Every structure is written in C-alpha cells, then in structure tokens.
Chains A and B, each alone.
Chain A
Amino acid sequence: MPFRLLTILLAFSFFTESLSRLFIKEFYNPMPVYHIYAPISVMLYCGIVYLMVPRKLIQWICIIPAMIAIPFSLLNSLYLQPLDEFPSNMVLFSHILLSVYSLIIFYHLLYSPEDRSLFRNPVFWFSVGTLIFQAASFVYLGFDQPIFSKLSPEMKITISNVHLYFAMLMYAIYGLSLWLDNPRSETHHAPAE
C-alpha cells in the first residue's frame, strides 16, 4: 500500500517537473510550481511513512507536522514570500521534514528487524533514496548562501547539475524499491529454503 502512494508521488513529481520546465520556458522561474508541489509532496510522503511504520506514536509524529505544513504553505505563499522567490520556506521545511521521515524509517527498521536481507527490503531503499536526495538538497541550498556568492555562474550550473544527478539517483532508488516491493521480484530472489 505505501508503494502505491509512492507510485502516485512519482507520477505527481513527473507532472510537476514537466510543468516547472514549462514555467522556466515561459516565465523564467519554476518556483510557483514548487510552492504548490512542496505541501502536496509532504502529504504524500507523510502517507507513505504512516503506512510503512505501523506504530501509533511515530504515526502521530509524522502526521502533526504534515498537518501544519498545509496552513504554513498557504500563509507563506500568501503573506511571507512571493511565489517566485527561491528557496521557498515551504521547500526548506519539506526538506527538513522528509529528512526526519527518512531517519524515522531507519529507526523503525532498527527497532523491528526482519528475517529477510536488508538489501531486499524496499522500505530500506525508499529511505536511502529519500535521505540521499534531501541531504544533497541541503548541500545544494548551502551553496546558495552569501558565503558562496563569489562562485562563478558556470560553477553554479555545475552544482545545480550535481543536484539534478542526485535527484535522478533518488528516482532510480525509488524504482529499485518499487521493483523489490513487486511480489514477482520476491519470488525470483527469495533465498531457497
């Protein structure tokens, strides 16, 4: 079930990224798309983690910040930041929240180990994919700070490309986790007993 939500999230991300390319082409700024994308993706991630971690306390820890995200996003977009400002406060909030979600899943994996190999566990790969991209995003956003203002435009493009590679890596890892979640892949790769 969580991986169905992940599939929806991927489809939604694909749609959003396509839309952002269009915005770049037409308005030279994709940020309005991400202002809307961030709270929705947070909700979807929240749903995924909620279904992956069947422990009430952790589920509430996931839900509460996600519930706060919606009004915060609205307030931020309407009153605090113009739609074209980068980075959006909501995007920053979502990076923090998704990193926390990912760490929560790691904690859950340690809390309740399973019989199967960790590397055949789609939940582990989902968490790895999420954390690697969110951490890379922090580094990427770090380069946007004034201390790095002397960076040449070419270098900024290089950094942006590296960030893009991390995004591709994340989606590849998500693909792996979806493949591992497929019952047919379990049948093919389950160790003979």
Chain B
Amino acid sequence: MPQQNDNDLLLVIAGVTVFFLLFAIGLIVFVVVYYNKQRAFRREKEQAEARYREELARTQQEVRTELLQNVSDEIHDNLGQVASLIKIYVNTLQVNDPQTESHKELKNLVNRLIYDLKTLSLNTRPDYITQAGLIDAMETDLNRLEASGMIHIRYEKNMEEFTLHNDLQLIVYRMFQESVNNVIKHAQATEILVQLTSDQHHFSFQLQDNGKGFDTVSLPEAGKGKSGIANMYRRSVAIGGDLSIQSDTRGTSILFTLNHKNSPV
C-alpha cells in the first residue's frame, strides 16, 4: 500500500510538472512572439511619425513658398506699377517746372523705390536662384542697379567653368546682395567695382566702392554687431568660405572667396 501511494504521488508530481513545463514553454513562446511584434509595431509607429513630420515640414515649406510667391507677385504687379506711375508724373513735373533740388531728390527717391521693389520682388521669388543661376542673378541685380541711375557700376568677370550646389549658390547670392545693399544704403558711393573670379576650385566676388567707409574695428566676427555684416560672416563660415572686409575714408572693399574643397556640399 505505501508503494502504491508513492507511485500515485510520483504520478501526480509528474502530471503537475508536465503541466507547469508546458504552460511555461507556451508562456515564453508567447512573450517572445509578443516582443517581436511589439518591436515591429514600434518601428512602424516611428516610421509613421517620421513620415508625418516630413510631410508636415514639406507642407509648411509649400505654404511659405506660396506666400513668398504671392508677396513677390503683389510687389511686382501692384506696388511696382504704382511706383512707375509716380516716376512718370515726376518726369512730367520736370518738363513743366524748373528743375529744383527737391525735384532731383524726388526723382532719386522714386528710382530708389522702384529698385527696392524690383529687388524685393525678385528676391522673394523662391525659385529665383535655381532658375536664373548665380552669375546671371548677380548680373541682373547689377544691371538693374545701373539702370536705376543711383550708382555707376564697373563690372569685371574672369571666370572659368565651375559648379556650385544650389544651396551654396543661394547663400553666396544672399551674401552678394547684402554687400550691394550695404553700399547703396550706407556708403554714399557714386561708383562700385564688382569683380567675379572663378576656376575649378575657387569662386570669389569682390566689391569696391568709393564711399565714405566705416570703422572696421567694430566689425563682428561671429554674428554680433550690425546684423547684415554679421549674417554675411555667419553664412561664410557655414559654407566654408572666407570673407574679408577692409574700409577707410576712400571706400570699402569686400572680398569673399569660396574654396570648393571646404564647402559642405
């Protein structure tokens, strides 16, 4: 009888053990499969979030682009036309009345307004640089400036074939614009010499004006001080270029050089 009890006990222990083992194995398999599924689920979720962020950024960019396009069109089609009409009337006044200093000043201001509006209109066009190309965009700006009668432009170009990434072209163009605008706004110059130079490895532009100059001691080196020049320095550093500004009472010289090897793209 005790032998029978022992056998019974062994049977029960074996049954419970097998049950526990099967259950534990089933549970482990479930947990492993679940965690694999969870990893896949997280991966999909992250991908979906990334796609969402990308789409959101693209949409925001499209909205900005469209807004800029609208602003550009509005400036060109509306404000530009109004300014041109004012210029015609001012010219009529000059014919009928003796030419006074105030008339000359008025004419200069209107020319300046038209130039600013056209520049603004072109600059706000998001695809301006990529469509026109860097050199054409620079030359267009210079021609417009010359045509406005505000300043005399001397232009020299010594260029070999070179290629610049679209993003770099845009940044260089913004720096060039900033340089020209500084001359117009602050230098009180009557003449500006613009030189473009390039070879397979370098690209540079140089602007020299005959204006009043400014104190270069206070020039910012890292984004401080006058925001326009500070932006130029920051952009130059960002694309691996070299910006040099020299100024005295005879005028200012701005030289920007970009070595292709140093550029990030």
Using Cβ atoms and an 8 Å threshold, which residues of chain A touch B45? 115
Using Cβ atoms and an 8 Å threshold, which residues of chain A touch B41? 113-115
The verdict on B30 contacting chain A, using a C-beta distance below 8 Å, is yes
Q: Are A136 and B19 in contact (CB under 8 A)?
A: yes
Using Cβ atoms and an 8 Å threshold, which residues of chain A touch B38? 113-115, 118
| Contact with A158, one of B9, B33, B40 (Cβ below 8 angstroms) | B9
Some 25 contacts from A to B, beta carbons below 8 A apart, are A110-B34, A110-B37, A113-B34, A113-B37, A113-B38, A113-B40, A114-B38, A114-B41, A115-B42, A115-B45, A118-B35, A118-B38, A128-B27, A131-B23, A135-B23, A136-B19, A139-B15, A139-B16, A142-B15, A143-B12, A150-B4, A152-B1, A152-B4, A152-B8, A158-B9
Binding site for A on B (CB under 8 A): 1, 4-5, 8-9, 12, 15-16, 19, 23, 27, 30-31, 33-35, 37-38, 40-42, 45
Q: Are B19 and A139 in contact (CB under 8 A)?
A: yes
| Contact with A135, one of B12, B19, B31 (Cβ below 8 angstroms) | B19
Using Cβ atoms and an 8 Å threshold, which residues of chain A touch B15? 139, 142-143
Q: Are A106 and B12 in contact (CB under 8 A)?
A: no
The verdict on A24 contacting chain B, using a C-beta distance below 8 Å, is no
B-contacting residues, A109-148, CB 8 Å: 109-110, 113-115, 118, 128, 131-132, 135-136, 139, 142-143
The verdict on A52 contacting chain B, using a C-beta distance below 8 Å, is no
For the complex, give the distance between the alpha carbons of A173 and B81 in Å: 81
Q: Are A118 and B5 in contact (CB under 8 A)?
A: no
Q: Are B19 and A154 in contact (CB under 8 A)?
A: no
Closest to B34 in A: A118
Closest to A163 in B: B16
Report A124 CB to chain B, min CB distance, Å: 8
Using Cβ atoms and an 8 Å threshold, which residues of chain A touch B12? 143, 155, 158-159, 162
For the complex, give the distance between the alpha carbons of A136 and B15 in Å: 10
Using Cβ atoms and an 8 Å threshold, which residues of chain B touch A132? 23
Using Cβ atoms and an 8 Å threshold, which residues of chain B touch A150? 4, 8
The verdict on A168 contacting chain B, using a C-beta distance below 8 Å, is no
Closest to A124 in B: B34
Report A86 CB to chain B, min CB distance, Å: 19
Using Cβ atoms and an 8 Å threshold, which residues of chain A touch B8? 150-152, 155
For the complex, give the distance between the alpha carbons of A98 and B5 in Å: 33
For the complex, give the distance between the alpha carbons of A118 and B23 in Å: 17
Q: Are A118 and B31 in contact (CB under 8 A)?
A: yes
For the complex, give the distance between the alpha carbons of A131 and B41 in Å: 26
